[in-house]
Chains A and B, each alone.
Chain A
Amino acid sequence: MTTPTIQLWEVFIRSRNGLAHRHVGSLHATDATMALQAARDVYTRRGEGLSIWVVPSNAIVASDPADKDMMFEPAMSKIYRHPTFYEVPEEVGHM
């Protein structure tokens, strides 16, 4: 089954109140209305969701895998950004 001229959409589902929408996959649809219906049919058949977002896949701006080192490597070496060097006083209890 090829659907070459039909737009691709990314689907986000919120499974429970209070949780964030999570990316669950993608699908083809001719427009936003049909994308929502298809998302309902493909991704919420077993009671997975309370709310659906669909976003045109081409509206997502993604980082280039080739830029991985420049983008993410500097953070790896900055261990002081992790709050692991601080002694938590006893009185604070569980943080």
Chain B
Amino acid sequence: MVAANISVTESPLVLYLLRRADDALILGHRLSEWCGHGPMLEEEMALANIGLDLIGQARELYSYAATAENAGHDEDDLAYLRDERQYGNLLLVEQPNGDFARTMVRQLFYSAFADPFWRATMASKDPTLSAIAAKSEKESAYHLRHASEWVIRLGDGTAESKRRAQEAVDDLWAFTGELFHVDVADRGLIAGGIAIDPETLRAAWTATVSDVLRTATLTMPASGWMQKGGRAGHHSEHLGHLLSELQWMQRTYPDATW
């Protein structure tokens, strides 16, 4: 590793943008890992499409974060030159793909939040964030539909697919509490009408997920202990491995072009 970490001055807005950008980039990267391994050609395309949508959202959020920071960084610096502890993504999105059921359940949990999140963020008083939200909302609506339809078919499918889907739901459930994380930095943005309070989305998220799981004949875990840490840079052991693959090229050959 040659290129050193950059140091980002994290105003509340920059931090807020980076966390959402990190969510989109890490989940998009996870989906890109399916490239060449999709269960069928049609799903191979769908996973790559969703991954590219998310990476596109990440780019816009990183670019805006760089503009807001105004320290000479660009979207690539923010994506490639921050280390694990500087990443503020949800623990949910860094969890390994596992089997197809696990990937779809993870997508359902994330998209059931992202869809209403972006729709609500369209009303942000920050015009750039509002514009990013308007584009992201249409994409997220499709991601949610796609993941929902698959979870329904896997849960209400064969004994094997149901077992795998239920295992994924049970294993990933503890990471869903963090979707609604808010800290001091967010409070000012929420009060100023820039950010929305994720707590206002909890009922919608719970309704969406419980509807899908019921239709899928899967059991919704009783809300219990929730794992936190991603937003504060405390990640699971998986993120370091992911970043080493994601950042290797820029770290080893800084500013390489071709």
Contact = CB atoms under 8 A, between A and B. Distances in A.
Interface in B41-74: 41-46, 49
Contacts of A55: none
A27 B42 contact: yes
Interface stretch (B105-113, B145-153, B228-236): B145-153
B149 A42 contact: no
Tell me whether chain A's interface is mostly helix, strand or loop, or mixed.
Answer: mixed
Contacts of A6: 40
Contact of A41 (B39, B49, B150): B49
B40 A37 contact: no
Chain A CB count within 10 A is highest, among B42, B46, B149, B150, for: B42
A38 B43 CA distance: 7
Contact of A42 (B39, B45, B145): B45
Interface in A1-37: 1, 3, 6, 27-31, 33-34, 37
Contacts of A30: 153
Tell me whether chain B's interface is mostly helix, strand or loop, or mixed.
Answer: helix
A37 B149 contact: yes
A37 B153 contact: no
Query: Chain B contact residues (Cβ within 8 angstroms of A): what range?
Result: 10 to 19
Contact of B42 (A31, A33, A42, A45): A42
A27 B42 CA distance: 7
A25 to B, nearest CB: 11
Interface residues of A, number: 16
A34 B153 contact: yes
Given A34-B150, A38-B42, 5 more contacts: A1-B39, A1-B41, A28-B42, A37-B146, A41-B45
29 contacts: A1-B38, A1-B39, A1-B41, A1-B44, A3-B40, A27-B41, A27-B42, A28-B40, A28-B41, A28-B42, A30-B153, A31-B153, A33-B149, A34-B149, A34-B150, A34-B153, A37-B46, A37-B146, A38-B42, A38-B43, A38-B45, A38-B46, A40-B142, A41-B42, A41-B45, A42-B41, A42-B42, A42-B45, A45-B49
Interface of A: 1, 3, 6, 27-31, 33-34, 37-38, 40-42, 45
Interface of B: 38-46, 49, 142, 145-146, 149-150, 153
